[in-house]
Amino acid sequence: MPASAQRILTTHAGSLPRPQDLLQMMFDRGAGKPVDETALEARIRTAVDEIVRKQRETGLDLISDGELSKSGFSTYIYERLTGFAGQGQFYANDVADFPELAMKLFATSSAALIVMPNCEGAIEPRGQAAVQRDIANFKAALGDDVSSGFIPAATPGQISFNFANKHYPTHLAYLEAAAAAMQPEYEAIAASGLNLQLDSPDLAMAGHSGSVGSDLRNLQEHIEQAIGVLNDATQAIPPEQMHLHVCWGNYAGPHHKDVPLRDIVRPILETRAQAIYVEAANPRHAHEWEVWNEVQLPPDKVLIVGAIDVLTNHIEHPRLVAQRIQQFANLVGRERVIAGTDCGFGTFAGWSACDPDVAWLKLQTLVDGAREASRALFGAASVGSGG
């Protein structure tokens, strides 16, 4: 997923608002109600078609299938891998300081359907049918050129962070098992010609949150091990076909206990993925463009930077988006910056702090701001369908 030598490209973190009728079918299935699986699969196909068209109409350059088939960006894996059972508990130290806020954030009907089981047995893939359906639906919607498309997948680190280890003898053994189990999905996405987004919020979130009973106890050790096993699992995939997304949790909490980017960025840069995707728009992390004054971006890497905050219904002004993009471009080079959102607009089905219609206006602002930044950085001749 290389940046452009002519203009600033635009993308987002993968998940997009799901259509209400599709959401209802997913809620019904999650609640154990009878659902016509054939009708559900058909609706996912048409919804992916619609979401691709809408992204292109908005002017986004690098687009996804919206993660429309998944219950959540990471929780989908328990449907595709063996070894997970029961119901774990998640905690966030920043929210724990505010019990009433915790109820407002997490005691919702959609949150009740977010199942985070424990790892209670050996992790093995159940087969490739689900990822192959995702690939087929997305490629059908994209048409002839699939090079602008990407599909997100959970990383071994995120799996070990979300789902407490009750089976493997060590944290590293758990990571290695998760990597081996996810490798076929990574390779299937890449082999299809699509790009692979490696979703790894754990690399930052584990500094202030986690699963009760987790064996993830040392953040720096976890980052090094998680990046190591991920590099092994993606060894057959070209770096330019991958980007690694890091975030501090897509929930509207205070985030005052987030680990600073500067404390974790160096081991993260050891990833094989060409693009590093970080939050840079929300009030807790918007200042961290300064990190790239201190840390040199390796010459083979590009940055995808969050220029839109997904946890508010405020619609950023295009000029603010342009300023954010230019800050990074002035530090690492205009050809090494892609503009994105901080995180997804549908991290879990039906659970978002941003109104769906507002989300699309924010994405339009992202495109408009990238266009303005492109004119400033590349000159009036910079053109393109998006930024």
Total of domains in the chain: 1
Query: What pLDDT is attached to residue 102?
Result: 81
pLDDT (average), residues 122-143: 97
pLDDT (average), residues 58-80: 95
| Torsions phi, psi for 268 (to 5 deg) | -65, -35
CA–CA–CA angle 282, 284, 286 (5° rounding): 55
Residue 145 has pLDDT above 90, yes or no: no
- 300 in any annotated domain: yes
| Torsions phi, psi for 307 (to 5 deg) | -115, -5
- 85 in any annotated domain: yes
Residue 1 has pLDDT above 90, yes or no: no
- 373 in any annotated domain: yes
- 4 in any annotated domain: no
Q: What percent of the chain has pLDDT over 90?
A: 84
Range of the domain at 54: 9-378
CA–CA–CA angle 190, 43, 362 (5° rounding): 70
Could you give the CA distance from residue 344 to residue 17 in angstroms, rounded to a whole number?
Answer: 9
Instruction: Say what the pTM is.
Output: 0.95
Query: What pLDDT is attached to residue 110?
Result: 54
Residue 387 has pLDDT above 70, yes or no: no
pLDDT (average), residues 131-155: 97
- 385 in any annotated domain: no
Query: What pLDDT is attached to residue 384?
Result: 54
Query: What pLDDT is attached to residue 108?
Result: 59
CATH number at residue 290: 3.20.20.210
pLDDT tens across 83-100, in order?
999 988 889 999 998 988
Could you give the CA distance from residue 309 to residue 359 in angstroms, rounded to a whole number?
Answer: 10
Around 78, how many Cα atoms within 13 Å sit in the side-chain half-sphere?
Answer: 22
Residue 141 has pLDDT above 50, yes or no: yes
- 359 in any annotated domain: yes
- 187 in any annotated domain: yes
- 383 in any annotated domain: no
pLDDT tens across 327-381, in order?
999 999 999 999 999 999 988 887 788 999 999 999 999 999 999 999 999 997 6
